[in-house]
Amino acid sequence: MSEIYGYVRVSTQEQNEERQLMELEKVGVPFRNIYMDKMSGKNFERPYYLELKRQLCKGDLLYILSIDRLGRNYEEIQKQNPDGVFLSNGPGNPKDVKPVLELVRKIRGNFPLFGICLGHQMIGLAYGAGTYKLKFGHRGGNHPVKNLKTGKIEITSQNHSYAVDYASLKNTDLEMTHINLLDHTVEGIACRKDHVFSVQYHPESAPGPQDSGYLFDQFIQMMEENKHGKAN
Protein backbone atom coordinates (compact mmCIF):
# COMPACT_ATOMS: atom_id res chain seq x y z
CA MET A 1 0.00 0.00 0.00
CA SER A 2 1.36 3.42 -0.96
CA GLU A 3 2.36 5.96 1.69
CA ILE A 4 2.21 9.75 1.85
CA TYR A 5 5.38 11.52 2.98
CA GLY A 6 6.36 15.13 3.59
CA TYR A 7 9.68 16.94 3.59
CA VAL A 8 10.44 20.17 5.47
CA ARG A 9 13.62 22.22 5.25
CA VAL A 10 14.73 25.46 6.87
CA SER A 11 18.22 26.85 6.39
CA THR A 12 19.15 27.50 10.04
CA GLN A 13 18.30 26.27 13.53
CA GLU A 14 16.64 29.63 14.26
CA GLN A 15 14.18 29.56 11.35
CA ASN A 16 10.60 28.48 12.05
CA GLU A 17 9.28 25.38 10.28
CA GLU A 18 5.68 25.68 11.56
CA ARG A 19 4.14 26.99 8.32
CA GLN A 20 5.55 24.10 6.31
CA LEU A 21 4.35 21.59 8.92
CA MET A 22 0.85 23.13 8.93
CA GLU A 23 0.58 22.91 5.14
CA LEU A 24 1.64 19.25 5.16
CA GLU A 25 -0.94 18.52 7.85
CA LYS A 26 -3.63 20.17 5.71
CA VAL A 27 -3.02 17.73 2.84
CA GLY A 28 -3.09 14.73 5.18
CA VAL A 29 0.58 13.83 5.61
CA PRO A 30 0.92 11.75 8.83
CA PHE A 31 3.32 13.39 11.27
CA ARG A 32 5.34 10.16 11.51
CA ASN A 33 6.06 10.45 7.76
CA ILE A 34 7.42 14.01 7.85
CA TYR A 35 11.21 14.37 7.55
CA MET A 36 12.89 17.66 8.41
CA ASP A 37 16.36 19.12 7.95
CA LYS A 38 17.67 22.42 9.28
CA MET A 39 20.37 22.91 6.69
CA SER A 40 21.21 24.87 3.56
CA GLY A 41 19.54 23.84 0.30
CA LYS A 42 22.77 24.16 -1.68
CA ASN A 43 23.39 20.41 -1.62
CA PHE A 44 21.48 17.21 -0.95
CA GLU A 45 23.78 15.62 1.63
CA ARG A 46 21.20 16.14 4.37
CA PRO A 47 20.62 13.29 6.86
CA TYR A 48 16.83 13.28 6.92
CA TYR A 49 16.52 13.86 3.19
CA LEU A 50 18.76 10.84 2.59
CA GLU A 51 16.71 8.77 5.05
CA LEU A 52 13.51 9.85 3.27
CA LYS A 53 14.95 8.67 -0.05
CA ARG A 54 15.62 5.25 1.48
CA GLN A 55 12.02 5.03 2.69
CA LEU A 56 10.28 6.07 -0.54
CA CYS A 57 8.84 3.29 -2.69
CA LYS A 58 7.19 3.26 -6.09
CA GLY A 59 3.70 4.72 -5.84
CA ASP A 60 4.39 6.76 -2.71
CA LEU A 61 3.50 10.45 -2.74
CA LEU A 62 5.90 13.11 -1.43
CA TYR A 63 4.69 16.59 -0.49
CA ILE A 64 7.03 19.59 -0.25
CA LEU A 65 5.64 23.09 0.35
CA SER A 66 7.70 24.58 -2.49
CA ILE A 67 10.45 23.31 -4.74
CA ASP A 68 13.07 25.55 -3.10
CA ARG A 69 12.56 23.53 0.10
CA LEU A 70 13.93 20.57 -1.83
CA GLY A 71 16.86 22.55 -3.21
CA ARG A 72 17.74 25.93 -4.67
CA ASN A 73 20.15 24.66 -7.28
CA TYR A 74 18.90 23.18 -10.56
CA GLU A 75 22.15 21.29 -11.13
CA GLU A 76 21.75 19.56 -7.77
CA ILE A 77 18.15 18.63 -8.61
CA GLN A 78 19.41 17.19 -11.90
CA LYS A 79 21.82 14.96 -9.98
CA GLN A 80 18.88 13.47 -8.06
CA ASN A 81 17.39 12.44 -11.44
CA PRO A 82 13.73 12.54 -10.29
CA ASP A 83 11.07 10.71 -12.31
CA GLY A 84 9.07 13.93 -12.20
CA VAL A 85 8.57 17.16 -10.28
CA PHE A 86 5.37 18.13 -8.45
CA LEU A 87 4.73 21.82 -7.75
CA SER A 88 2.41 22.10 -4.77
CA ASN A 89 -0.05 24.72 -3.59
CA GLY A 90 0.92 27.67 -1.43
CA PRO A 91 -0.21 31.16 -0.45
CA GLY A 92 0.40 34.54 -2.03
CA ASN A 93 1.09 36.18 -5.36
CA PRO A 94 2.99 33.83 -7.71
CA LYS A 95 4.94 36.77 -9.16
CA ASP A 96 6.60 37.28 -5.78
CA VAL A 97 8.29 33.86 -5.79
CA LYS A 98 10.97 34.78 -8.32
CA PRO A 99 13.71 32.26 -7.30
CA VAL A 100 11.25 29.38 -7.66
CA LEU A 101 10.00 30.76 -10.97
CA GLU A 102 13.53 30.69 -12.37
CA LEU A 103 13.89 27.10 -11.18
CA VAL A 104 10.63 26.10 -12.89
CA ARG A 105 11.87 27.63 -16.16
CA LYS A 106 14.92 25.37 -16.00
CA ILE A 107 12.96 22.25 -15.05
CA ARG A 108 10.26 22.50 -17.74
CA GLY A 109 10.96 20.21 -20.67
CA ASN A 110 13.61 18.29 -18.71
CA PHE A 111 11.37 16.43 -16.24
CA PRO A 112 7.63 15.66 -16.24
CA LEU A 113 5.96 18.44 -14.29
CA PHE A 114 2.59 18.57 -12.48
CA GLY A 115 1.41 21.73 -10.72
CA ILE A 116 -1.47 22.44 -8.35
CA CYS A 117 -2.84 25.87 -7.35
CA LEU A 118 0.24 28.10 -6.84
CA GLY A 119 2.24 25.50 -8.77
CA HIS A 120 -0.24 25.87 -11.63
CA GLN A 121 0.20 29.64 -11.64
CA MET A 122 4.01 29.29 -11.55
CA ILE A 123 3.90 27.06 -14.62
CA GLY A 124 1.79 29.65 -16.43
CA LEU A 125 4.30 32.39 -15.63
CA ALA A 126 7.26 30.19 -16.57
CA TYR A 127 5.85 29.82 -20.10
CA GLY A 128 5.17 33.53 -20.52
CA ALA A 129 1.51 33.65 -19.57
CA GLY A 130 0.17 36.19 -17.07
CA THR A 131 -1.66 35.96 -13.76
CA TYR A 132 -4.05 38.35 -12.03
CA LYS A 133 -5.86 38.72 -8.72
CA LEU A 134 -9.52 37.71 -8.72
CA LYS A 135 -12.07 40.25 -7.47
CA PHE A 136 -13.49 37.50 -5.29
CA GLY A 137 -11.32 34.48 -4.57
CA HIS A 138 -12.52 30.94 -5.13
CA ARG A 139 -13.33 29.21 -1.83
CA GLY A 140 -15.19 25.99 -1.11
CA GLY A 141 -15.58 22.37 -2.12
CA ASN A 142 -18.26 22.54 -4.81
CA HIS A 143 -16.85 24.41 -7.82
CA PRO A 144 -17.85 22.83 -11.17
CA VAL A 145 -14.94 22.49 -13.60
CA LYS A 146 -15.14 21.13 -17.15
CA ASN A 147 -12.41 18.91 -18.58
CA LEU A 148 -12.19 20.21 -22.15
CA LYS A 149 -10.70 16.96 -23.46
CA THR A 150 -13.33 14.56 -22.08
CA GLY A 151 -16.25 16.95 -21.64
CA LYS A 152 -16.78 15.66 -18.10
CA ILE A 153 -17.70 17.97 -15.23
CA GLU A 154 -15.69 17.66 -12.01
CA ILE A 155 -16.82 18.99 -8.63
CA THR A 156 -13.65 20.50 -7.20
CA SER A 157 -12.19 21.95 -4.02
CA GLN A 158 -10.76 25.46 -4.42
CA ASN A 159 -8.95 28.03 -2.28
CA HIS A 160 -7.12 30.70 -4.27
CA SER A 161 -7.03 34.44 -4.93
CA TYR A 162 -5.06 34.47 -8.22
CA ALA A 163 -5.68 32.94 -11.64
CA VAL A 164 -3.92 32.42 -14.96
CA ASP A 165 -5.06 34.94 -17.59
CA TYR A 166 -6.70 33.11 -20.51
CA ALA A 167 -5.85 35.76 -23.13
CA SER A 168 -2.15 35.56 -22.20
CA LEU A 169 -1.99 31.86 -23.19
CA LYS A 170 -2.29 32.80 -26.88
CA ASN A 171 1.41 33.36 -27.59
CA THR A 172 2.74 30.52 -25.40
CA ASP A 173 3.13 26.75 -25.82
CA LEU A 174 0.34 26.22 -23.29
CA GLU A 175 -3.24 25.17 -23.96
CA MET A 176 -6.19 25.43 -21.62
CA THR A 177 -7.41 21.99 -20.51
CA HIS A 178 -10.00 22.84 -17.83
CA ILE A 179 -12.44 25.73 -17.35
CA ASN A 180 -14.47 26.94 -14.36
CA LEU A 181 -18.16 26.84 -15.27
CA LEU A 182 -19.09 29.59 -12.79
CA ASP A 183 -16.84 32.41 -14.04
CA HIS A 184 -14.98 30.82 -16.99
CA THR A 185 -11.55 31.25 -15.43
CA VAL A 186 -8.67 28.97 -16.42
CA GLU A 187 -8.62 25.83 -14.26
CA GLY A 188 -6.05 23.75 -16.13
CA ILE A 189 -3.22 24.14 -18.63
CA ALA A 190 -0.76 21.82 -20.37
CA CYS A 191 2.27 21.75 -22.64
CA ARG A 192 2.17 18.24 -24.06
CA LYS A 193 5.55 18.34 -25.82
CA ASP A 194 7.24 19.15 -22.49
CA HIS A 195 5.22 16.65 -20.42
CA VAL A 196 3.81 19.49 -18.30
CA PHE A 197 0.29 20.01 -16.95
CA SER A 198 -1.38 21.73 -14.03
CA VAL A 199 -4.72 22.55 -12.41
CA GLN A 200 -5.87 25.47 -10.31
CA TYR A 201 -8.02 23.40 -7.95
CA HIS A 202 -7.11 20.78 -5.32
CA PRO A 203 -7.34 17.11 -6.34
CA GLU A 204 -5.14 16.24 -3.33
CA SER A 205 -7.52 17.78 -0.79
CA ALA A 206 -11.06 17.06 -1.95
CA PRO A 207 -13.39 17.06 1.09
CA GLY A 208 -16.15 15.18 -0.70
CA PRO A 209 -16.17 14.08 -4.38
CA GLN A 210 -12.97 12.48 -5.62
CA ASP A 211 -13.66 13.47 -9.22
CA SER A 212 -10.13 14.74 -9.82
CA GLY A 213 -8.13 11.84 -8.42
CA TYR A 214 -7.35 10.66 -11.96
CA LEU A 215 -4.84 13.51 -12.29
CA PHE A 216 -2.35 11.69 -10.07
CA ASP A 217 -2.73 8.55 -12.21
CA GLN A 218 -2.15 10.75 -15.26
CA PHE A 219 1.07 12.11 -13.74
CA ILE A 220 2.32 8.63 -12.81
CA GLN A 221 1.62 7.42 -16.35
CA MET A 222 3.43 10.45 -17.77
CA MET A 223 6.50 9.70 -15.65
CA GLU A 224 6.47 6.03 -16.67
CA GLU A 225 6.19 6.92 -20.36
CA ASN A 226 9.01 9.43 -20.05
CA LYS A 227 11.26 6.86 -18.38
CA HIS A 228 10.43 4.30 -21.08
CA GLY A 229 11.18 6.86 -23.80
CA LYS A 230 14.57 7.66 -22.27
CA ALA A 231 15.40 3.95 -22.02
CA ASN A 232 14.75 3.55 -25.73
Q: Which residues are catalytic?
A: 117, 202, 204
Rounded distance, CA 3 to CA 218, Å? Answer: 18
Cα-trace Rg, the chain: 17
Backbone angles phi, psi at 89, to 5 degrees: -75, 170
- DSSP assignment of 83-140 equals S-EEE---SS-GGG-HHHHHHHHHHTTTS-EEEETHHHHHHHHHTT--EEEEEEEEEE
Query: Contact at 8 Å (CB) between 227 and 83?
Result: yes
